[in-house]
Structures are given as C-alpha cells and as structure tokens.
Amino acid sequence: MQSIVNRRAQFSASHRYWLPELSEAENIEKFGACFRFPGHGHNYILFVSLSGELDEYGMVLNLSDVKQVIKQEITNQLDFSYLNDIWPEFQQTLPTTENIAKVIFERLAPHLPLIRVQLFENSELFADYTGNGMEAYLTLSTHFSAAHRLANPRLSSEENFQIYGKCARPNGHGHNYHLEVTVIGEIDSRTGMIVDLGALNQVIEDYIIEPFDHTFLNKDVPYFAEVVPTAENIALYISNLVRSPIQELGAKLYKVKLIESPNNSCEIYCTEPESDLLATREKQSVLTRL
C-alpha cells in the first residue's frame, strides 16, 4: 500500500535579490527592500514528502536515514550561508523561496523517493515544488477580522436556527479569519519568481483585506446580503474576486484556504482536476492518514 511520509528540517540563511544587468533604480523597482546590500536572512522551515510501499517494518523509509540525507545534501550546506554564493544554481536564477524549493528537490531526488518539497521562508510565505519542470506553487498567508450571521434571508428564524444553530443568532458573531492564497506558475529562469510578490500582496490587500477586514459581512459586503457567509461561501467569493487580477500578473490562482477557527476551515481549488498534481497528492496524504 502506498503511503506518504513527511520529514521536517530547518536552516538559517541570507540572500539578496538583485540582477547585475539592471541598474540600481531598476533593481529597486523590481525587488524593493530585498535589493538592499548585503542582503537579509530567514529561518527557513523545510518539509520533504516521500512516497512508497510500506516495508516489513511498517516504514516507507527509515527516517533516521532520511534525516542524514537531508543534512548531508541540504542543511549542512545551506545553514548559516549566503544563498546567492553557496550553490551554482543560484548564480543564474535568484534564490527566491520557490526556486530554493525547486533546487532542493532536484538535489534530493537522486537519493529519496520525493513527491514534494515545501519551504517556508516565514509564517506568511511558503512555496511547494513537485518536480514538474519550472512549475511551482507560492502561498501568501494573511488574516482579517470580521463578523457574520449564518441565516438565509428567505427562511424563517426557526428554520435558520434549525439549520445553523447558534450561528443564526440575530446579532451575529465574529472570527479572526486566517487566509492562504496559493498561486501556480512557471519560475522565471532569471528572477526565480513565478509572480511579482509585491504586486500579489497588493491584489490581496485591495480585493480582500481592505473590503473584508473589520466588517459585518452580511451588511458591509453587498454579495453577502443574499448569500449566507459560511466559510465555504466566503472562500468561494474570494477566489472569484482575485482570480482575474492574479492572472493579469502572469500566474494562476491555484487554491484559497480559509481558516475560520481551529476547528473549521475550507479549501477552494481553482485548477482543472486532471492537471492538479499537488491536490492529488494532498488527497493521497489525507487518505493515508485516515
């Protein structure tokens, strides 16, 4: 039986976004504060996902062996390094989060049955790479606070309470929503980016945070005057809002994940199922855990 196991590792490193063929003004325009000399650092968190048949000992691989491979090939080399200089791959293509994930995958692939590398630059930015050429996934995390009431305006109070329980109380209730927006695209062979990060941040700010934060969704967002603002409907609406603006940036919206509370979250996938390799693997992982 196929199973997926995940191994966590970490390293601290610095990097700088700049291209020598551009002027200082052009570098600042393209990379913003990330252009500053001599660079900046992160505490990177790495997750390596492996797939295989269970052996007679109930393991896909001995995780002690996996740990040693990751240390030898990745973390011992990258920890406390300046990424732009440490590996030749980063001489041609900048060490962005998505490109680092890609290069790590390629360096581990000869040694491990990889299906995915996930790399967190910080708690609000991470990338996934699954070995599919130059294609990668980039996720931005953010949050907003809002109130809502779960009640269908076409139903009576009694019917709404029967369906939504306490969430149908007339004065509503609030949440600190955690939002993840994941885009998919090709890694640029020079900049290492699949999308302009500043521009993507601005889309999320303009289309989601500004109109949603500190609102009563049923009353302040016209769409929810007639549509019940469940986590599912909110996530679906957000995906419809940002799909076109993200496409205009040269990437595609892949997934919107909305966490309403520690007990309740929703994911909306925005790609065609047949090409959705990452979603397939995520589903496999969930099924394995079940």
Q: What is the rounded distance in angstroms from the CA atom of residue 1 to the CA atom of residue 289? A: 13
Per the CB < 8 A criterion, the answer to whether 18 and 27 are in contact is yes
34 counts as catalytic? no
Read off φ and ψ for residue 252, nearest 5 degrees: -125, 140
Per the CB < 8 A criterion, the answer to whether 86 and 77 are in contact is yes
Q: What is the rounded distance in angstroms from the CA atom of residue 60 to the CA atom of residue 8? A: 16
Read off φ and ψ for residue 115, nearest 5 degrees: -125, -20
Per the CB < 8 A criterion, the answer to whether 239 and 270 are in contact is yes
State the catalytic residue, choosing from 98, 180, 260, 282: 260
CB atoms < 10 A from the CB of 168, how many?
20
Nearest to 163 by CA among 174, 152, 175, 172: 152
Q: Helix 231-248 to helix 197-204 angle, to the nearest 10 degrees? A: 140
214 counts as catalytic? yes
Read off φ and ψ for residue 195, nearest 5 degrees: -160, 150
The helix/strand/coil state of 151 is: coil
State the catalytic residue, choosing from 89, 106, 143, 167: 167
260 counts as catalytic? yes
State the catalytic residue, choosing from 173, 210, 214, 226: 214
Q: What is the rounded distance in angstroms from the CA atom of residue 121 to the CA atom of residue 98? A: 10
List the catalytic residues. Answer: 167, 214, 260
